[in-house]
Structure 1
Amino acid sequence: MPFSRIPPLTLAAFFALYVIWGSTYLGIRIGVESWPPMMMAGLRFSLAGWLMLAYLCVRKYPMPNARELGGAALLGLLMPAVGNGLVTVAEKDVSSGVAALVIATVPLFTLLFARMFGQKARKVEWAGIGLGVCGMVLLNMGANLKASPSGAALLLLASAGWALGSAWSRHLTQPKGPMGSAWMMIFGGAALLLASQVYGEKLLAMPPLSGWLALLYLAVFGSIIAYSAYLHLLKTVSPAAATSYAYVNPVIAVLLGVVFLGEHIGLHEMLAMSVIVAAVVLISWRR
């Protein structure tokens, strides 16, 4: 579609995914310095979900039925809880830029899971998956992930959970419009807060201003705005286009991490970023 014919709402949704989600890795890295990770992620999604639901109730949006709530609960577990919660836990030990690089593999996982729902992959897409695997091997040779194999495993599980939710969302009955975003975050937030209690996370001291600002930024911009934008794109554009944020977010996350946190990105990470971005571009390629 020519750029001039793209609807303004779709353009705004792409901007939210490319820029806002790219900056959330920085927000998470700042936040986990003063919050227990699962507690912070659970508060983030609970706050965002209940605020959205309150607004939608005031606007008299129809409430979803039981079947739609079931779909929202499943997506909430896969996407906010597993997909984002594990990223938050991993960023206790892994830099924000490297975390974004691993999450850039989401379109590769999405393509694999899409086959479960009858979507066939083209040869060029299989080539992209192969190239993405090479990028992951390079990334694991770098110092960041070598120092934290558990962080690498959590990030890969997060990518797989998010990708499965993305592929499944097109086939699940779920609440319509922004109600879907609200309930998905409510269920995801509840699952994360429960996990926080089970694992015995405790807030040892009141977070400083930076911790509260990180939480609010993640809740309002990273959740309410960006999640709604993502669900809108999943319903209006192709899965490849909806997940194209994956080759913009790593660049933004790496740059922000270097500028604001002084993170070091080595040669292996830079090569891996180039290879992973090339792989995602390849599987998204259209004639």
Structure 2
Amino acid sequence: MRKKTVQMIISNSLMIGLWASAFPGIRAGLEGYTPEHLALLRLLIGSMALLLFAVLTKMRLPDAKDIPAIFLIGILGFALYHILLNISEKTVSAGVASLLVTTAPIFSAMLSRLFFREHFGIPRWIGSMISLLGVALITFGTGDYTYSMKGICLILLAAFSESIYFVFQPRYIKKYGFIPFVTFTIWGGTIPMFVFLPGLGEEMLNASPSATLSIVYLGLLPTIVPYFALAYVTSLVGTSEATLSLYVTPALTLLISWMWIGEIPAFISLLGGAITVGGVCFTYLNPNLMKWHVNALRHK
């Protein structure tokens, strides 16, 4: 149980840290690429790296009957999510984008309850509400009210699309393992993105090295590692529990955006980040929930 607890901590840390860095990374990439080309190149880099990994490890392919579902999940979790997020970040700051994406755990909880009767529990709802309060304060603290409602709606739609990926992954993780499942869904999300291939080569030649390197980073790390980590955590404790820690992402995104692209957070945003973290801590440190969590790990 202790070993799995350490693995859980490492997995959550990788999830939060790398996903937090993805939002300013997207803003940096958009300096030289269109939203569609950024998404295509990012997924293409990730897919190529995973293809090499799959060949070296002799990863078995999914059963034919599962391919349509895995393909659809990949489109929702990768292709649609990344396109919508990239388009929205043309008008929405990295910090605001990250906090709006934190609605995904709420969507995940509702979908898990609707389709799988997964218990969420009062402590988790209270923790979620506390975290959303922190998210709201971060929003007010940005001082940037010029972002469009279209951008906000696109991010919320992206969060909902990603939550579908989160909710329907456990069955296939159990069958194939979390690394093969993520690999298959990234490939599934990449294939339809080839519709945006025309013009990518020219854009790569004209883009600045920093914009291209940002996308290489996005493709090799935030596109792959956090999804491996999330799939692993989901296999242990379920979708609702696994996605709760994502509430911490906006707080870290504010700091990384400040250091990377010069987006300076206001004091109220920092306060909101602290409250967001507090909500997650309330959820995980609640005695009843901790007891359930430990029992879940013991029976794995």
Cα 1:270–1:205 shift into 2, 3 Å = same
Give the drift of 1:46: 2.3
Is the helix fraction higher in 1 or 2? 2
Identify the residue that residue 119 of structure 2 maps to in structure 1: 120
Aligned equivalents of 2:216, 2:248: Cα separation in 1: 23
Separation in 2 of the partners of 1:274 and 1:266? 13
Indicate the SS of the match to 1:223.
coil
Distance 1:138 1:254, change over 3 A: closer
Pair 1:72–1:255, CA change in 2 (3 A): same
Matches within 5 A, 1:255-266: 255-266=255-266
Aligned match of 1:154: 154
State the alpha-carbon separation in 2 of the partners of residues 248 and 129 from structure 1.
11
**Equivalent residue, structure 2, for 1:53:** 51
Residue 90 (structure 2) aligns with: 92
Equivalent residue number for residue 297 of structure 2: none
Find the residue that maps to 2:144 and give its secondary structure.
helix
Does the residue aligned with 1:144 lie in a helix, a strand or coil? coil
Q: TM-score, normalised by structure 2?
A: 0.80
Give the aligned partner of residue 77 of structure 1.
75
Residue 17 of structure 1 corresponds to 15
Distance 1:252 1:136 in 2: 12
For residues 246 and 154 of structure 1, the distance between their equivalents in structure 2, rounded to whole angstroms, comes to 19
Match of 1:36 among 34, 38, 47: 34
The 8 Å contact of residues 105 and 246 in structure 1, kept in 2 or not, is answered as no
Q: What is the CA-CA distance between 1:135 and the residue it aligns to? A: 5.3
Which range moves more in the overlay, 253-262 or 77-86?
Answer: 77-86
1:1-287 matched pairs, under 5 angstroms: 4-6=2-4, 9-116=7-114, 117-131=116-130, 141=140, 143-144=143-144, 146-172=146-172, 175-194=176-195, 196=196, 203=203, 206-266=206-266, 269-270=269-270, 272-282=272-282, 285=286, 286-287=289-290
- Structure 1: where are the runs of 5+ without partners? none
Quick one: structure 1 residues 277 and 191, their matched pair in 2 at CA, closer, same or farther if it must change by over 3 Å?
farther
Change (3 A) 1:280 1:104: farther
**TM-score (normalizing by structure 1):** 0.83
Aligned residue identity for 1:181: V
Tell me by how many angstroms 1:272 deviates.
4.6
RMSD: 3.0
Following the alignment from structure 2 to structure 1, what is the Cα–Cα distance between the partners of residues 14 and 8?
10
The 2-side partners of 1:145 and 1:155 are apart by 16
State the one-letter code of the partner of 2:28.
I
For the Cα contact (< 8 Å) 2:120–2:240, is it kept in 1?
no
Unaligned regions of 5+ residues in structure 2, if any? 291-300
Contact preservation (8 Å) 1:138, 1:271: yes
CA contact (8 A) 2:98 2:249 kept: yes
Equivalent-residue separation in structure 1 for 2:37 and 2:176 (angstroms)? 26
SS of residue matched to 1:222: coil
Tell me how far apart the structure 2 counterparts of residues 35 and 185 of structure 1 sit (CA, whole Å): 21
The one-letter amino acid of 2:220's match is V
* Partner SS for 2:84: helix
Distance (Å, rounded) in 1 between the aligned partners of 2:275 and 2:6: 32
Distance 1:152 1:213, change over 3 A: same
Q: Encode CA deviations 1:31-80: one digit per residue, 9 max, x unaligned.
A: 11111112211221122123212321232222211123223212212211
